[in-house]
């Protein structure tokens, strides 16, 4: 990176701190790695970005907002695969306090200890009781899962259950599937969104806002029927050329519309969310020339995913992944189904009901029960597999390999016609996942303009009006002669409007006040001057053009 660029990064970081936008957290106690504050200006900025994001998706009409806990029971993240995929099992030597990976110290005693569950690993550790590689003792503390998730205990003492701070917001939306399904009148497609905190105990957070231990994320889970070919209207994006980095075609410039038509984007719904993500990011002020979609390589994707595109944004740290849009198949709902035994499915009605002739056998509980006792259940399963022309008595083989003789007194003929009107299936999910902090970083990076006027050093933060943290600054040209009083009245009246933030500033020269406002990206400055006292008008000064216009106070 060029030296000039590095200097810019330092000046930008300094400005963000000085102006109360983004600051290292807990700094008076020495700070904490990977944790940042959004300050008096940044807090509002973050909130507006979150709101813009929520509104963007909820306006689709079939997407609802959820808010799930950040504290998550162990079982939930075990089902999702995070415990297994995301952890190392650690144990401490009780003699020398040295921490070791349980699978590593058991390697000589098991072909693949990495594949064991926690309890199996604990069992093996207790059985073998290997020597500590550091001190030679054989005294190990119980195995604990240690991974990128922050673990905690839900409840106190012996009744406490293990849990984690969530590493993503998605799982709460999967576990709420039944409620979502009912709310949406059992009709797909529908989606759920959630903005909130996620936590990952990164080994080494870096690059300021880019890798955090506690971060703001925003995820959308969009549930679809895999057998329905969606007909999305891509016409709004047909003439917008996007930068695509395709797995097969490399770097190309093409509209989303064409990329879906050509199959480069493998699923139309993934394409739709890519297009809508592009709209969102450019609407809030990301420079579209510094935005690209990068398709995951097949070996880079999770095994269950069929297509995944990252949105990468170019900023002071190079190209950074800020959004991931993944087709996750039925992986997540299926995983929670398996773990809980609950049904997480949607119903699909057939165009024509299927008529099924059932002709076979089942057991007669009154006779088979006493006859087979504990085996009766298995016998019933086996009998129901028999063909309709079976003759009794007959030998059936049970699940456990045992063979029993079943005669006619144990069974009943089943003959009926069933009409099956539909079937239950596990919906597929398309998941756009946004790193809000990274997006905010790039908004600031792209908006930060030091070009100034006449070559002087002058900073303007050219934030989009939709996310600017402060909407107005109100200045009296001078505080005397009643200008201060009138300006304060205007300021209070603006603040009382829902969702509007105004700053009153009477300190320093007018030029200095404009400069302060420009540095935090205030789009409009309102100045009360002598004429205001005569005719109740004020000047509006536009941040980006510097142009002034005069309007009546009542029109504000």
Partner RNA sequence: GCGGAUAUGGUGAAGUGGUAUCAUAGGAGGUUUCCAACCUUUUGCCGGGGGUUCGACUCCCCCUAUCCGCACCA
Q: Does 327 interact with RNA (rule: CB under 7 A)?
A: no
In the complex, least distance from residue 287 CB atom to RNA, rounded to whole angstroms: 21
Q: Identify whether the C-beta of residue 526 lies closer than 8 Å to the C-beta of residue 542.
A: no
Q: Does 85 bind RNA (CB under 7 A)?
A: yes
Q: How far is the CB of 146 from RNA (least distance, A)?
A: 12
Site string for RNA, 146-165 (x = CB under 7 A): --x-----------------
First to last CA, the chain: 46
Residues 204-233 contacting RNA, CB under 7 A: 204-208, 211
Q: Which of 457, 368, 355, 354 is nearest to 405 (CA)?
A: 368
229-245 as b/e: b if 16+ CB within 10 A: eeeeebeebeeeebbbb
CB 324 within 8 A of CB 388: no
Closest to RNA by CB, 30 or 341: 30
Q: Does 455 bind RNA (CB under 7 A)?
A: no
Q: Does 168 bind RNA (CB under 7 A)?
A: yes
How many residues are recorded in the chain?
Answer: 556
The least CB distance from residue 553 to RNA, in Å, is 12
State the nearest-atom distance from the C-beta of 64 to RNA, in Å. Answer: 23
Tell which one of 307, 310, 332, 519 touches RNA (CB under 7 A): 519
392 in contact with RNA (CB under 7 A): no
Closer residue to RNA, CB minimum distance, 338 or 342:
338
The reply on whether position 546 binds RNA by CB under 7 A is yes
Nearest Cα neighbor of 519 from 9, 17, 6, 7 is 17
x/- track of binding to RNA for residues 468-497 (CB under 7 A): ---------xx-------------------
Residue 446 in 3-state DSSP? helix
**Minimum distance from residue 85 beta carbon to RNA (Å):** 5
Q: Which residue has the tokens 């507006």?
A: 48
Helix (H, G, I), strand (E, B) or coil at 334: helix
**Residue 118 has what DSSP assignment?**
H
If one asks whether residue 297 binds RNA (CB under 7 A), the answer comes out as no
Other C-beta atoms closer than 10 Å to the C-beta of 502 total 21
Position 541 contacts RNA (CB under 7 A):
yes
All residues at 6 or more sequence positions from 530 whose CB lies less than 8 Å from its CB, including other chains: 477, 481, 483
Within 10 angstroms of residue 445's Cβ, the number of other Cβ atoms is 21
Q: Which of residues 1-30 bind RNA (CB under 7 A)?
A: 10, 13-14, 17-18, 24, 30
512 lies in the binding site for RNA (CB under 7 A):
yes
CB-based contact 139:95 (threshold 8 Å): yes
Residues 6 or more apart in contact with residue 293 via CB below 8 angstroms: 242, 243, 244, 245, 274, 309, 310, 311, 312
- Applying CB under 7 A, among 283, 548, 549, 552 the residue interacting with RNA is 548
Binding site for RNA (CB under 7 A): 10, 13-14, 17-18, 24, 30-34, 85-86, 148, 167-168, 200, 202-208, 211, 302, 317, 453, 458-459, 477-478, 507-512, 514-516, 518-519, 527, 529-530, 538-539, 541, 546-548
């Amino acid at each position: 990176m060029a030296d000039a660029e590095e200097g810019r990064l330092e000046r930008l970081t300094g400005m963000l701190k000085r102006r109360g936008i983004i600051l290292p957290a807990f700094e008076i106690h020495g700070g904490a790695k990977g944790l940042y504050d959004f300050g008096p200006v940044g807090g509002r900025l973050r909130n507006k970005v979150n709101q813009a994001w929520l509104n963007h998706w909820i306006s689709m009409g079939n997407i609802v907002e959820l808010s799930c806990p950040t504290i998550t029971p162990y079982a939930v993240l075990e089902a999702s695969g995070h415990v297994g995929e995301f952890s190392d099992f650690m144990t401490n030597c009780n003699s020398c306090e040295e921490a070791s990976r349980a699978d590593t110290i058991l390697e000589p005693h098991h072909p693949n200890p990495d594949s064991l569950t926690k309890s199996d690993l604990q069992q093996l550790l207790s059985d073998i009781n290997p020597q500590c590689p550091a001190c030679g003792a054989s005294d190990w503390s119980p195995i604990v899962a240690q991974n990128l998730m922050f673990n905690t205990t839900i409840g106190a003492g012996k009744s406490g259950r293990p849990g984690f701070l969530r590493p993503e917001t998605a799982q709460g939306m999967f576990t709420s599937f039944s409620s979502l399904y009912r709310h949406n009148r059992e009709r797909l497609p529908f989606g759920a969104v959630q903005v909130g905190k996620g936590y990952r105990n990164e080994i080494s957070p870096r690059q300021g806002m880019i890798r955090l231990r506690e971060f703001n994320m925003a995820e959308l889970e969009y549930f679809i029927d895999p057998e329905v070919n969606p007909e999305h209207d891509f016409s709004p994006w047909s003439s917008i050329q996007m930068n695509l980095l395709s797995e097969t075609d490399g770097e190309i410039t093409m509209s989303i519309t064409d990329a879906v038509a050509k199959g480069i984007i493998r699923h139309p719904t993934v394409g739709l969310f890519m297009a809508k993500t592009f709209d969102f990011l450019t609407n809030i002020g990301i420079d579209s020339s510094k935005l690209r979609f990068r398709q995951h390589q097949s070996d880079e994707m999770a095994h269950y995913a069929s297509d995944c595109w990252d949105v990468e944004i170019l900023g002071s740290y190079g190209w950074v992944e800020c959004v991931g849009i993944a087709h996750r198949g039925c992986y997540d709902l299926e995983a929670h189904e398996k773990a809980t035994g609950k049904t997480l499915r949607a119903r699909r009605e057939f165009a024509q009901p299927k008529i099924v002739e059932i002709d076979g056998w089942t057991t007669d509980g009154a006779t088979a029960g006493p006859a087979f006792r504990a085996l009766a259940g298995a016998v019933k399963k086996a009998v129901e597999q028999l063909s309709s022309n079976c003759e009794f008595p007959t030998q059936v083989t049970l699940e456990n390999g045992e063979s029993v003789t079943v005669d006619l007194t144990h069974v009943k003929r089943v003959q009926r016609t069933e009409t099956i009107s539909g079937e239950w299936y596990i919906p597929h999910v398309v998941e756009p996942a946004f790193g809000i902090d990274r997006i905010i970083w790039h908004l600031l990076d792209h908006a930060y303009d030091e070009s100034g006027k006449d070559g002087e050093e002058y900073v303007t933060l050219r934030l989009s009006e939709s996310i600017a943290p402060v909407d107005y600054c109100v200045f009296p040209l001078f505080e005397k002669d009643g200008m201060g009083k009138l300006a304060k009245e205007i300021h209070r009246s603006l603040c009382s409007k829902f969702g509007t933030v105004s700053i009153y500033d009477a300190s320093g020269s007018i030029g200095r006040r404009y400069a302060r406002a420009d540095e935090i990206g205030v789009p409009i400055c309102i100045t009360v001057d002598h004429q205001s006292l005569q005719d109740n008008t004020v000047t509006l000064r536009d941040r980006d053009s510097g142009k002034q216009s005069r309007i009546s106070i009542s029109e504000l």
